Amino acid sequence: MVSAALSDALTDPTHLIQQLYSQWKQSSAPDRSPFPDLVARHFAGLFQTPETLSQIPALNVKQPLERHAPRSLVAFDAMVQDTSYSPEVYLSEIREQSGGWGLAESNEDALPPDELTKYDNLDERTVIWAVSIPGESDWVQHPDQAVNRTDAIQHPSLLSKRYQHKFPLPDTPHVGAKVKIYTDLSDQPFSPTDLVTFVGFLTNEMYDLTDEPIADGALCPTLHVVFWKKYSPHYPISQPPLSDPAASVEELIQWVADAALGGDKDAAEWVLLICISPLISRDLPIILPSLSLTGFPASPDRLHDPPSLGAVLAALFPMCSSLPLSLELLNERSFCPESKNEDLHSGALQLPHDNILVVSELTIQEGTLREKGLRNIESLQTVLQTQTLNYIFPFSAYPFPTRLRVIVLTESKRTAIVKCNIVFPLRPINPQKLYLSSELILPDAAILQRFRQLLIREQRTGVNFLSEAMSQHVENDFVRDRQAGIKVSQDDLALRITIARYAEFAMGRSQVNVEIWERTKALDQRRQARLIDGK
For the CA atoms of 92, 22, 59, 71, the dihedral, rounded to the nearest 10 degrees, stands at: -80
Q: What is the CA radius of gyration of the chain?
A: 26
The answer to whether the CB of 177 falls within 8 A of the CB of 270 is: no
pLDDT digits (tens, 9 = 90+) for 52-83: 998 999 999 888 888 899 999 999 999 999 99
pLDDT digits (tens, 9 = 90+) for 275-333: 887 543 434 444 578 999 999 998 877 666 889 999 999 999 999 999 999 999 999 99
Distances, alpha carbon 439 to alpha carbons 142, 307, 436, in Å:
18, 12, 7
The answer to whether the CB of 178 falls within 8 A of the CB of 129 is: yes
Residue 127 has pLDDT above 90, yes or no: yes
Q: How confident is the model at residue 116 (pLDDT cuts 50, 70, 90)?
A: low
The domains of the chain are located at 56-146+154-230, 245-458, 460-534
The structure's pTM equals: 0.89
Q: Which of the residue ranges 206-220, 234-248, 372-386, 404-418 would you say has the lowest mean pLDDT?
A: 206-220
What DSSP character marks residue 226? Answer: E
Q: What number does CATH give the domain 56-146+154-230?
A: 2.40.50.140
pLDDT digits (tens, 9 = 90+) for 224-235: 999 999 998 776
The answer to whether the CB of 222 falls within 8 A of the CB of 433 is: no
pLDDT digits (tens, 9 = 90+) for 81-112: 999 999 999 989 888 889 999 988 777 666 66
CATH number, domain 245-458, options 3.40.50.10420, 3.90.650.10, 3.40.1440.60, 3.40.50.300: 3.40.50.300
The pLDDT score that the predictor gives to residue 453 is 83
pLDDT digits (tens, 9 = 90+) for 31-57: 788 999 999 999 999 999 988 998 999
The CA distance from 84 to 57, in Å, is 29
